[in-house]
Structures are given as structure tokens and as C-alpha cells.
Amino acid sequence: MATSYKELGLVNTKELFAKAIKGGYAIPAYNFNNMEQMQAIIQACVETKSPVILQVSAGARKYANATLLKNMAKGAVEYAKELGYAIPIVLHLDHGDSLELVKSCVEGGFSSVMIDGSHLPYEDNVKLTKSVVDYAHAHGVTVEGELGVLAGIEDDVVAEHSSYTKPAEVVDFVSKTGVDSLAISIGTSHGAVKFKREQCTVSPDGVLIPPTLRFDILEEIEKKLPGFPIVLHGSSSVPIEHVRILEQFGGKLKDPVGIPEEQLRKAAKSAVCKINIDSDGRIAMTAAIRKVFAENPSEFDPRKYLGPARDSLKALYAHKNKDVLGSAGQA
């Protein structure tokens, strides 16, 4: 039987984005697959009084199970109240690739979906996105579309090279499809290695400093779509403190480099009102678990390593809400 997101106590993104644009901040969209990640997200967002988008990829949905996810989202709403503050919570499909998947998510309690036709020829992207908008809007569910291709891996879609969003296309795309928000490509990319070493400069202590995002393209898009919600994917910062812990305890990442926090802060003050973060959580969690394993080889109670991982995630998300996205205090 289909469940509406409203029955679960969730909200769509409409009002949240309108407020975020006016207020000059961005709503965090944190990816999750399991209970500890969800607990950390809710704890951090309640503590900082931030609205939040719980973001689920097709892979995460397969991993966690759709029925469990629906009930976890319902649980998240109750959990926030129990922690003392009823923050607005969105359950969002990340990188949806078909109308069938979208239908299944909407029937399973999602309040927002992304349809990612960015790798398709323009007219096919318009057609697919419009079919999703027609269906989703009939159920009160908001839709994110994408124009432009991010470098790196987009779920199952591998993009060798990025192609920045063409500002000349955005008005046509938004008016033909009726999307509620638009993900754009201005230099961010998925994963822990966002740029090639040769694109970066190297600091004296060996840290890679990436090139600046294409804020000129963002500005052009804002001029063409005044007040329209823009989304940034691939916005992990790959914090060096967590990378160092991961490496200290046996992990290896080749040439890790993310999007510097000050650039995300600048983006959040503009029409960018949703910022997607997954990799930073993965790194923080893995670093914390590696530390416990290395320091206590005899430990085999999952609570003893998942607990510290959850604490580290919570601190990471609270920091992002307060110091990067500016969503703290906006719930």
C-alpha cells in the first residue's frame, strides 16, 4: 500500500528553499544508508536547529531496504521531537534515473526526488524530467532536475569529463519541465578526489589546493533565473584532519581533494539552497572506525566502533550547519 510522506511527518522542499534563498543559506542534503548515519544527522540538525534533507541514492535504497527506509524516516521525525526540537525533515531520492524508480519512491514515502537526465541529450533530459514532474507534483512531491555533467562518478553513471551547465539552456529547461530546483555543474564533482593533481597547487605541507569553482557561471544562471533554487552536488570538502586520521590508521586515499569550505559558504549565500554531502561522512566514519580497530585490536562489540563513528559524524554535520551552510538556527 502506498504511503504519503505527509503521513510520515515529512515535508517537501518548496517552503524550505524559498526561505533559504531569502535567508542566504543552504539546506544540508546528507546521504545515509544506515541507522548510525541517520542518528548522527538528526542529532546534529536538532542540536543546531537546522532543517535537513535525508538523501538516499538508488544504491542506498537497495542496501537498506525500502520498507526499512520509510520507517527510518518516520522514526527520524519522532526522534527529532524526542530530542527536543521538531526540525523540518525531507526524504529525498538522489540521482533517480527513471520514472519507475521515482514512482516507487513516492509510494514509499519520499517527499522529494531528483531525476538526473544530465547525461542524456538535452531534449531527452527535458522529456524524462517533465514526465517525473507531472507525476511527482500530482502527489505534492518536489523535483530536482540537472543540467550539465559533473566529473567523476554519478551513481551508476560515470562521467570522465565534466561539462559545465550552459546558462543559455536553463530558462528553457526550467519552463519546459516545471522542476522545483536545478542541480548545476560549476566545477564540483563526486567522491574524495575532485580534481586531478595537475589541476591543483600544492601547499608547503603537501595539501592539494584546488582551482576555484566557476562562480561566474553561477552568477549568470542566477541572473537568468532570479530567485530560483539551485543545487550543488559533489560538495564534500574532504577535510584534511579526517584524511590524516584515516591514513594514520592504515587507510589510503590517492590525492584526496575537496571543495574548500569558504567557497561553499559563498555559494550558500547565493541562490544555491541545497548542498549535497556524502563523501565527507564516509571518510569521517571510516577514519573513526579505523582508529578504534588500530588502538583496540581485541574490540569486537560493534557499538564500540560504530558509536565513536556516529559521534564523529555528528560533530562534522554540526560544524557544516553552523560554519559552512549557515542552516543552523533556521529550523
311 is catalytic: no
Separation of alpha carbons 272 and 191, rounded Å: 20
Count of C-beta atoms within a 10 Å radius of residue 127: 15
114 CB neighbour count, 10 Å cutoff? 28
Angle at 181 between CA 7 and CA 54, to 5 degrees: 45
Contacting residues for 50 by C-beta, under 8 A, at least 6 apart: 27, 28, 44, 87, 321, 325, 327, 328, 329, 330, 331
Binding flag, residue 94, ligand 13P (CB under 6 A): yes
Q: Which stretch binds ligand G3H (CB under 6 A): 19-27, 52-60, 197-205, 260-268?
A: 52-60
Q: Is 28 in the site for ligand 13P (CB under 6 A)?
A: no
- Minimum Å gap between C-beta 117 and ligand G3H is 15
Strand partners, 108: 3
Query: Could you tell which of Zn ion, ligand 13P, ligand G3H, none binds residue 60, using a CB distance below 5 to 8 A set by kind?
Result: ligand G3H
Residues in contact with Zn ion by CB under 5 A are 233
Give the residue with the Cβ less far from ligand G3H, 174 or 183: 183
DSSP one-letter code for 201: E
How do strand 157-159 and strand 152-154 relate by DSSP bridges? antiparallel
The residue from 9, 19, 23, 59 that contacts ligand G3H (CB under 6 A) is 59
**Residue 95 near ligand G3H by CB under 6 A:** yes
Does 278 bind ligand G3H (CB under 6 A)? Our answer is yes
173, 147 Cβ separation under 8 angstroms:
yes
Q: 307 is in the binding site of which of ligand G3H, Zn ion, ligand 13P, none (Cβ under 5 to 8 A by kind)?
A: none
Question: Min. distance of Cβ 146 from ligand 13P in angstroms?
Answer: 10
Measured from the CB atom, the residue of 285 and 304 that comes closer to ligand 13P is 285
**Binding of ligand G3H at residue 259 (CB under 6 A)?**
no
Site for ligand 13P in 300-329 (CB under 6 A): none
Cell reading at 24 = 542566504
The yes or no reply on residue 285 touching ligand G3H (CB under 6 A) is no
Q: Which amino acid is at 118?
A: S
Residue 324 Rama label (left phi>0; alpha psi -120 to 50; beta): alpha
Cell 561553499, residue located = 264
Min CB(1)–ligand 13P separation in Å:
29
Binding residues vs ligand G3H (CB under 6 A):
31, 57, 59-60, 94-95, 154-155, 190, 278
The residues annotated as belonging to the active site are: 94
Binding residues vs ligand 13P (CB under 6 A):
31, 94-95, 190-191, 233-236, 276-280
